[in-house]
Homo-oligomer: A and B are copies of this chain.
C-alpha cells in the first residue's frame, strides 16, 4: 500500500519535491492549502505523514511551524534539505521574446526580480503559489505567459524550462521536517540528531549551564533560537537541534536537562540529513 503524505501546497511545489526525494515515487500525495490543514490531516489519519518547511537560510526559522509541532505534540521523525531553485517555464515552443507576463508566488517573484531586469517587456504578476502558476499555464494553454516554479512542476505540467536557477541568491538551503503523530521507529543506533524545546528563567548563566552539559555529553549544536514567553515575562523558550555520535551520550544529556530546564520536551529524534 502506498504511503499517504500530506504536503503544503499543490503538486509540483517544493514540499512535493521534498516528499519525492525523501520517500521516492511510490507515494500518494495529499495537497493541503495551509500548514494548519496539513496538521489536521496528520491527526485525523487522512495521511500517514506530513512534510513541513521549518527554516531556511534566507528568512530563518518558520516559528509558527515550530509552534504547530509543539502545541500538537507532533513527532519529528526525519529531516530533509533542499536548495530552492526557481525556474522560468513556458508552454513548449514558446521563447522568451514571446513572453509578456510571468506569474508566481510574490516571494518567488521577489527572489527573481533581478533576473527580469534584462527583459523589461515582461510584467511580473502575483499568483497564489509557484506550482499553481505553472499548472494554470498548462491547463489554460496560456501562450505568452510564463511561470516561476520548481523542476518538479515543469515535469508534472509538461512545461519547457527556459532558464534554471533564476533566483538572485543561488546558494540557499531550506530545511523540511517529516512529522507524525507517533514517535520514530528508528533504532537507537540510527538516531544521531534531535530537536529539543525547553524553558529557562532569565537568570544570568542559565543557558550557559545548559550548553555546558550538552558539550560535556559530546552533543553539538546545529541550531539555537530563543523566543520570549509573553505570558511569563523574563522567561524564555529555546528551540535547539543537537547532533551526536552515541545515543547513550544523548540520553545522559537528556536526563540532566530534564532536571535543569523547565518543560523540557523532545520534539523528535531522527537521522541527521545535513551534508
Which chain A residues have a beta carbon within 8 Å of chain B's beta carbons? 57-61, 63-64, 171-173, 202, 204-205, 207-208, 211-212, 214-215, 218-228, 230-231, 233, 275
Give the docked Cα–Cα distance between A220 and B234 (Å): 11
Across the interface, name the chain B residue whose C-beta is closest to A223.
Answer: B226
Distance in Å from the Cβ of A72 to the closest Cβ of chain B? Answer: 17
Residues of B near A214 (CB, < 8 A) are 208
Known: A204-B219, A215-B208, A219-B204. A225 touches B60 (CB 8 A): yes
- 12 of the cross-chain contacts (CB-CB < 8 Å) are A57-B227, A58-B63, A60-B63, A171-B230, A173-B228, A204-B218, A204-B220, A208-B212, A221-B226, A222-B228, A223-B228, A224-B224
Oligomeric state, in copies: 2
Give the docked Cα–Cα distance between A58 and B171 (Å): 28
Distance in Å from the Cβ of A73 to the closest Cβ of chain B? Answer: 20
Residues of B near A61 (CB, < 8 A) are 60-61
Distance in Å from the Cβ of A102 to the closest Cβ of chain B? Answer: 20
Give the docked Cα–Cα distance between A207 and B214 (Å): 11
Q: Contact between A215 and B226 (Cβ–Cβ < 8 Å)?
A: no
Give the docked Cα–Cα distance between A162 and B137 (Å): 43
Give the docked Cα–Cα distance between A215 and B214 (Å): 17
Distance in Å from the Cβ of A111 to the closest Cβ of chain B? Answer: 11
Across the interface, A64 reaches (CB within 8 A) one of B59, B219, B220, namely: B59
Residues of B near A226 (CB, < 8 A) are 221-225
Residues of B near A60 (CB, < 8 A) are 60-61, 63, 225, 227
5 smallest CB-CB distances across A and B, nearest first, come from A60-B63, A205-B215, A208-B211, A208-B215, A224-B226
